[in-house]
Structure 1
């Protein structure tokens, strides 16, 4: 049986290799476009899924790699970053990453995208990220995500009990 191939997944694998990594890219029979679907398919906690979400910060794309256990608090995060975070259109996501919503990987983009890496992901030994297609994921770690993306570790929701 041949391994499936897709240009976006190939770019992700090439980028990972450029960082000295060669994780197995897992292909599923069906799309795993949500953290709960990916976690169930892998048999891991939903918090171990690193969702790659593209937003805009004052109009510029920003990639937020967030734990699948929660939703990004865009109003709070925008305040933390000194701007306004909005939802990126599917066209803006494709332009910024070269990938489509549901399969956006943390790497393999046509140009660097400012990236925040959810500090909650540091609580897991292994995390899983999309590999450029809705049917693909790869294993990594919080530290590797920060390194390979050039990302900034940052909370994406207020701490429990904290005032927004």
Structure 2
């Protein structure tokens, strides 16, 4: 794990800005603007899944706060779920009053977050996205979420995650 700025050799990075990609810079700016305590960690290899991220970070998969974009009646819905869980889309749809919730495709995700699938962060998107947060994440002192690309992870507390996203805490499984 490399906690120093990246080398700028990965696609989309700029060595003049510490190797951070534009999406990572937007995540940093959003976190700083929200006044949350956070750390951005740049990993030596990409971590597009919760299992890969947990292994690289040396934490449990339950500490990974997966930022998953769904299409809910045509609108984006961000579900931040524990990496240990699968989101029950029928339950989420019923609980939130949607007719249909389904996993969004990569183009939809990029259009609404400015971030690629595998690196979606809980914030730093071009426009606010309705957010739901898995209540089971509250059991962990430290959480790890995507940092804007699939090389970067964001360390954050549950309280700061809720505060910075304005997310509704509920059961998602």
Same fold (TM over 0.5): yes
Distance 1:96 1:86 in 2: 15
Structure 2 spans left out of the alignment, 5+ residues: 6-17
Match of 2:93 in 1: 78
* Superposition misfits of 4+ residues, deviation over 4 angstroms: none
Using the TM superposition, name which of 134-143 and 76-85 deviates more: 76-85
RMSD between superposed Cα atoms in Å: 1.2
Correspondence 1:113 to 2:129: yes
> How many positions carry a matched residue from both structures?
157
Match of 2:72 in 1: 57
**Alpha-carbon deviation of 1:22?**
5.1
Aligned pair partner of 1:140 in 145, 149, 156: 156
Q: Compute the TM-score of the two structures, normalised by the length of structure 2.
A: 0.87
C-alpha offsets along residues 54-103 of structure 1, whole Å, 9 cap, x if unaligned?
00111110000000001101112212222210121211101110101000
Q: Compute the TM-score of the two structures, normalised by the length of structure 1.
A: 0.92
Structure 1 spans left out of the alignment, 5+ residues: 158-164
Distance 1:6 1:21 in 2: 21
Aligned pair partner of 2:29 in 8, 11, 14: 14
C-alpha offsets along residues 129-161 of structure 1, whole Å, 9 cap, x if unaligned?
11100000011111111100011101101xxxx
Match of 1:46 in 2: 61
C-alpha offsets along residues 11-39 of structure 1, whole Å, 9 cap, x if unaligned?
00001010123522111111111111111
